[in-house]
Structure 1
Amino acid sequence: MVNTRPPGALPGTPGRETLAEGTGLFRLHAAHRPAGSFNPVPAHPFYGGGRFDATDHDPYGYAYLGLTAASAVCESLLRSVPFDGAATPRLLPRSALRGRRLSFLRLTADVTLVPLLSGRDLAAVAQDTWLTQTEAAHYPFTRHWGHWIRENTAPWAQGFLWPSKREPADHVAVLFADRCPAGVLEETGLPPVDFEAPEGEEWLNTLLEPYLARVAP
């Protein structure tokens, strides 16, 4: 669906998926940002940025979350770490860990998301799996589509839910600050995993081992 502009109206009725108050979530984020805060910085419309980031054309705070630790880690850190054809672990560059941590969160209120999980979910918003599975080079287009879906699901849609590209068995989500109650994300009390600390690196390597990946020496 790349280079296809959104239609004038939704072709179907988007689904609604509720994550209940108390649901545990996992967030991989910059250590300088509080775990429960939303990223307030819009992405450039054309360069860099994430799949469903805000831009100046649709400014909102956003937070990407995994419903499992594996999906949060894989979605972020394995994004550009391909296999080289050898039966050896993929090496995650240490630069990818600099200033990063994984935090353990839970919802303080129910949130209602647009599911982008099935073919029917995607067809309701005039899309297919390209929207949730395309690579980063196409993120300017997915951001444009995300803004259009937000516009057409206002005011109820508080975020999106889709299958993790790097761990398809698990789901990831983005929440929108302008549609969520203040303090919707709270820390569970478990200490975060700081990836630059030796124990954090050991934790990360244990999680990555089944994915044939590890931190580079």
Structure 2
Amino acid sequence: MNGFFPMIDLELRPHRKVIPAGTELWRVHHSKYAPDQFNPKLSDIHFDGGRFEGTVLDPYHSLYLADDPLTALAESVLRSRPFERPVGMRRIPYRTVWQRSLSGLRTRYDLHLVSLIEGQDLAAVCQDATLLEDEGNYARARRWSSEIRAQAPDAMGLVWESRRNRSRLALVLYHDRFEDRDGGPLEVLTDTGIADLGSQEGMKRANEILEPLRAEISEPVWQ
């Protein structure tokens, strides 16, 4: 750590969940990144950025995953997408999948994560469901991620129940918690996933995956 954290006088008692070695996980990512590459982007302290990304005050790189392809897609593309009348489908703008890929990976070794799945897990870090539900205050969530990191220096990331595909899991890994290990935490599964979600074939396959959640990627409108 760089000395900025912890900055609260609350004692956190994080619960742990282990994702075993050999577990298959899924990720939607920008196609310019390798499937197992951590996102080097840091979020703004107060405004733009992902829920649990690092900032200049705590500059870790992040990698978001889910426990199945549907959840990985849902977490990436279904934010604030309403069911449209009269057919009750959720239309996903093409721009959300352009230059993006869906990749399958397998854990090389056990991942020791802080669990935010149950109410008691959230209470253990002095939080409630707002930490995961509030779409308007990601800065607070990033701040709390750093508090958890400071008080759980062995934790490799966080795991929680997906908001967009309930009962399934989403997780984020912290790059600096793997620096003392040989090789990265994830092995890329070849011949799986969708290399180009924005292609005709990629959209077709993605829409087949998304169908149980009544969601569909819209065809691009070229100007």
Structure 2: give runs of 5+ residues left out of the alignment: 1-6
**C-alpha separation between the residues in 2 aligned to 1:104 and 1:59?**
26
- Aligned partners of 1:42 and 1:54 also within 8 Å: yes
Alignment match of 2:197 (pick from 195, 213, 217): 195
**C-alpha separation between the residues in 2 aligned to 1:54 and 1:85?**
39
- Aligned partners of 1:37 and 1:185 also within 8 Å: no
TM-score, length of structure 1 as denominator length? 0.92
Letter matched to residue 134 of structure 1? D
C-alpha displacement at 1:47, in angstroms? 2.1
* Partner-residue secondary structure (3-state), 1:82: coil
**C-alpha separation between the residues in 2 aligned to 1:84 and 1:24?**
33
**C-alpha separation between the residues in 1 aligned to 2:68 and 2:192?**
16
- Aligned partners of 1:27 and 1:104 also within 8 Å: yes
Equivalence map 1:46-65=2 (5 Å)? 46-65=46-65
For 1:118-151, what per-residue CA distance to the aligned partner results, in whole angstroms no more than 9, with x for missing partners?
111011100001111221x211111011111111
C-alpha displacement at 1:45, in angstroms? 1.2
Letter matched to residue 71 of structure 1? T
Alignment match of 1:173 (pick from 149, 161, 171): 171
C-alpha displacement at 1:86, in angstroms? 3.4
Letter matched to residue 75 of structure 1? E
**Structure 1 residue runs of 4+, over 2 Å off?**
83-88
Match of 2:215 in 1: 213
Equivalence map 1:67-216=2 (5 Å)? 67-135=67-135, 137-154=136-153, 156-180=154-178, 181=181, 182-193=183-194, 194-216=196-218
**C-alpha separation between the residues in 2 aligned to 1:147 and 1:183?**
22
Letter matched to residue 57 of structure 2? H
**C-alpha separation between the residues in 2 aligned to 1:53 and 1:139?**
9
**C-alpha separation between the residues in 2 aligned to 1:30 and 1:142?**
23
**C-alpha separation between the residues in 1 aligned to 2:199 and 2:90?**
21
- Aligned partners of 2:84 and 2:91 also within 8 Å: no
**C-alpha separation between the residues in 1 aligned to 2:145 and 2:84?**
33
**C-alpha separation between the residues in 2 aligned to 1:56 and 1:190?**
37
2:20 aligned with 1:8, yes or no? no
**C-alpha separation between the residues in 2 aligned to 1:10 and 1:198?**
51
- Aligned partners of 1:10 and 1:124 also within 8 Å: no
Q: Percent identity?
A: 35
Structure 1: give runs of 5+ residues left out of the alignment: 1-5
* Partner-residue secondary structure (3-state), 1:65: strand
Q: How many residues align?
A: 209
